[in-house]
Chain A
Amino acid sequence: MSWVDICSKDDLQANSGICALVEEQQVAIFYMPESDALYAINNYDPFGKVHVLSRGLIGDLNGEPMVSSPLYKQHFNLKTGQCFEDESVTVPVYSVRIAGDRVEVNLAGEK
């Protein structure tokens, strides 16, 4: 288990996403201040086949936190990576935490 330092807490965008480069992987990190929740998933959109998920709109669907792809609007569960529209598709999910005023991601700790 190795936690990688990413950025300061101020670099997070409330109710929106940013993208980090972690060990050559693109990681999308989302922050919902109301529920004080942080999520990290792979930035790759399996439908559009490009790295853009960090730029999708976030919110919830049926009570589950989600991001909607900016390209073709599929929704992905931020906790599990499961696509809402297509059962056979999931995107990788990673651990993410705030330590002090720093944001850290742990790739090995796939949830």
Chain B
Amino acid sequence: MSNKQTLVVIGNGMVGQNFLVSLMASEIKDNYNVVTFCEEPIPAYDRVHLSEYFAGKSADDLSLVEPGFFEDNNIIIHMGDKANSIDRDTKTVVSDKGVVINYDKLVLATGSTAFVPPIPGNDRDQCIPYRTIADLDEMKVAAIKSKVGVVVGGGLLGLEAAKALQDLKLETHVVQFGPRLMEAQLDDGGADLLKQKIEDLGVNVLTNKNTIKIIDGDKLKHKMVFADGGELETDVILYSAGIRPRYEIATDCGLEIGARGGVAINDQCLSSDNDIYAIGECASWNEQIFGLVAPGYAMARTVVAHLAGEEAAFSGSDMSTKLKLNGVDVASIGDAHAKTPNILVYTYQNGVDGIYKRLVVSKDNKQLLGAVLVGDASGYPTLSQYYASNIELPEHPDSLILPSRSDESVGLGPDALPASAQICSCYDISKGDICTAIEAGCTTMGALKDETKAATGCGGCAALLKSVLDCELEKAGIEVNTDICEHFAYTRQDLYNLIMVEEIKTFSDLIKAHGQGQGCEICKQTVGSILASYWNEYILQNEHVQVQDTNDTFLANMQKDGTYSVVPRMTGGEVTPEGLIAIGQIAKKYGLYTKVTGGQRVDLFGARVDQLPLIWQELIDAGFESGHAYGKSLRTVKSCVGSTWCRFGVDDSVGLAVELENRYKGLRAPHKIKFAVSGCTRECAEAQSKDIGIIAVEGGWNLYVCGNGGMKPRHGDLFATNLDKETLIKYIDRVLTFYVQTADRMQRTSVWMENMEGGLDYLKSVVIDDKLDICERLENQMQHVVETYQCEWKTTIADESKLKRFRHFVNSDKHDENILFVEERGQIRPANIEEREHLLAEEA
């Protein structure tokens, strides 16, 4: 018999799960047998990023549960089972499925539901609350047969739901009961501007609309009838008009309830029963209910500490928010409505650029009490630090919201923050915590995130975290060595810039001017690749031979036995019967092993170095070109059969794949690049796992970037939607050239993206908004590469002096007698060592 107590957690949502993780990381984890009830059919997921479900994220991507978490920690989870009642006398919980459990300690984490206004007809078909993955699945189904969608509610979540409807390609309306959008956070000026910006995104905003009933529509499924006599027809209705805490189970067992609902809790998060805690959105602290995740996490930590006998108190949380809407910058901090008595207000309004900013400060001009930012929320990190850490404002606080027309910086440098300043509000991590981790050796963003969890929640603090890291490293005099090798004290990007600015064309010139020694395989290949990307000269030109990797030198991939593989290009995976026959005949003539690759083309294996030019001569005569399988360069553009044949095809995916492969073939890059084009969202070409993925949709082409198969798979990020072909190609030109210029050596686009400060949004701002004013240059650079393409094998075969290299012995026509094959499944394969010895002995 164990003397462990039983701890039951009702609700496995964001906060319930966070509590379990904190508990398991604590020293008291072995004191309890832990049981949790999870009403939803899947365990905890990231509700904060729920809307990304429509922008390509899967339920798996959103999961908050590490694989094996429950098993490894011996937590019993009752999936899809709702805790039904609590008997406080016998200390038991009974579930819907009939599970009865005796608890010693109980934690309520039942969250809340979306508020559905009590309107007649509110439960008609396709009227859906916006809260769970199941709701979203219902929306997806409803959207298929719908044209128009309405969101009831114009707050933070309502606007997010509107974005979701747009992602589902529905005509979108927002119906707001009150006069303003985001009433809780914004003042009139900010809300007006926000409305304008939301409308610019194609969403129709109706304010002051009191819906009195929902009935059958004339043309569409529903008709909403408003108190002012107006009407609106729609197919789908989403409720996102606020939240209602779930506390029925607490009411039923007689726990004290807050005045505005929610389980009343004290500073230790205890309810009126000393063995029952409540945390997250179901709890009411000081008559306040927190609709954000950070305070819920703070409550979870408080409970773990309290159970461990430590002194801990939940002390409220600030309700600052930054909206996660695409294309609209909105943020609000503290007392945005200037309700505190005796205060000063500064407002900056710029109608031309659509910017509205307001600061609420204390009478003595020293403390920030609140702020509203619309149109430009770049000041949010700085302002929220002034607010949260109570830092004294500069002499002229308005300098914080006025545009800086000179170079002076008014931002709060990370050095100015006190150790207590909260850097990550999701996980309550202070600057002090970060500095401790840095001292302990976490000198990269990745290591810091792993160690402290900072920036792994909403991600809003990533930029600030990075600047704290950089600043601390600089102060500590720690120089992060980014030299590519002992021959060059530069990064790959530095070398790229040197080559570009000084117009350097050879490795010898570069190492003489900027390096030392003779070079090694790392710097040689890196520089070889940069020279090829930038100048796109023939890579076997005499002065370039020395910097090519073996595979590039012989324009073929060396195999384990020293022979080579031969891969002719088959653009888009398309090949004529004549082409296939030619390949078959050539393979037969030279006795090569043939295999269809994972890149939709045919690979011929087992060619000796001296056979390569002969084989290629025949392939070229049959109309083939080099497939660049040997280069860190564009490999294949995979395609599905698309609209030409497929009954579901929306557009000609093969045609586009062929065109793209022909455009980018030969492009040398920091690592290999793969594309795919699918003809519809069934995605037979698996485009979302490629560096560049394209999917045909009704409105044009959707572009995904920075996906990866291979060692660490990554789904591509949806970069832009409904593109015409011209814009699509323009964006790809820019993304790829920017990658080629700025990525590290041997960095696939996926890792490049993971390491990019600002991530996807930053890449979009560079490529779509031309933030750095370089798009024209990026396009011209790509155009240069496109125009100077040559089939390297064609050039090589035409040059007698190059062919000299393709001999095994410089002084003999013999072959390498150690290359030996045996037969398997009707084709050759390299002999293994024993077979080789046997064969050699036989010969002798």
Contacts and interface: CB of A to CB of B under 8 A. Distances in A.
A59 B810 contact: no
B524 A59 contact: yes
A98 interface: no
A108 interface: no
A60 B520 contact: yes
13 contacts: A7-B811, A16-B546, A26-B809, A34-B518, A49-B833, A51-B818, A55-B550, A59-B524, A60-B518, A60-B520, A61-B520, A62-B486, A71-B560
B520 A56 contact: no
Interface string B81-117: 0000000000000000000000000000000000000
Interface string A54-97: 01111111110110101101000000000000000000000000
A21 B814 contact: yes
Interface string B551-589: 101100010111000000000000000000000000000
A55 B518 contact: no
A102 B546 CA distance: 22
B519 interface: yes
Interface string A2-28: 000011000101111011110000100
Nearest to B805: A13
Given A51-B562, A52-B558, A32 B518 contact: yes
A99 interface: no
Contacts of B508: 34
B538 to A, nearest CB: 16
A71 B517 CA distance: 24
Nearest to B524: A57
Contacts of B804: 11
A35 B524 CA distance: 18
Nearest to A13: B545
A21 B811 contact: yes
Nearest to A4: B811
A6 B560 CA distance: 28
A63 to B, nearest CB: 7
A87 B550 CA distance: 25
A15 B517 CA distance: 13
Nearest to B517: A60
A1 interface: no
A59 B548 CA distance: 12
Tell me which of A6, A19, A35, A63 has the highest count of chain B C-beta atoms within 10 A of its own C-beta. A19
Interface in B496-538: 508, 517-521, 523-525
Contacts of A62: 486
A70 B550 contact: yes
Interface string B194-211: 000000000000000000
B342 interface: no
Given A51-B818, A55-B553, A60-B519, A20 B561 contact: no
B135 interface: no
Interface of B: 486-487, 508, 517-521, 523-525, 542, 545-551, 553-554, 558, 560-562, 804-805, 808-812, 814, 816, 818-819, 833
B629 to A, nearest CB: 16
Interface of chain A, main secondary structure: strand
A63 B520 CA distance: 11
A48 interface: yes
Contact of A19 (B525, B549, B551, B809): B809
A79 B550 CA distance: 22
B799 to A, nearest CB: 14
B558 A70 contact: yes
Contacts of B814: 21
A11 B810 contact: yes
Contacts of A59: 487, 517-521, 523-524
A34 B546 CA distance: 13
B632 to A, nearest CB: 14
A1 to B, nearest CB: 20
Given A18-B810, A26-B809, A57-B550, 14 more contacts: A7-B811, A11-B810, A13-B805, A51-B816, A52-B550, A52-B558, A57-B525, A57-B546, A59-B519, A60-B517, A61-B486, A62-B486, A68-B521, A70-B550
B519 A19 contact: no
Contacts of A15: 518, 545-546
A107 B521 CA distance: 28
B549 A58 contact: no
B549 A57 contact: yes
Contacts of A49: 833
A57 B518 CA distance: 11
Nearest to A8: B810
B813 to A, nearest CB: 10
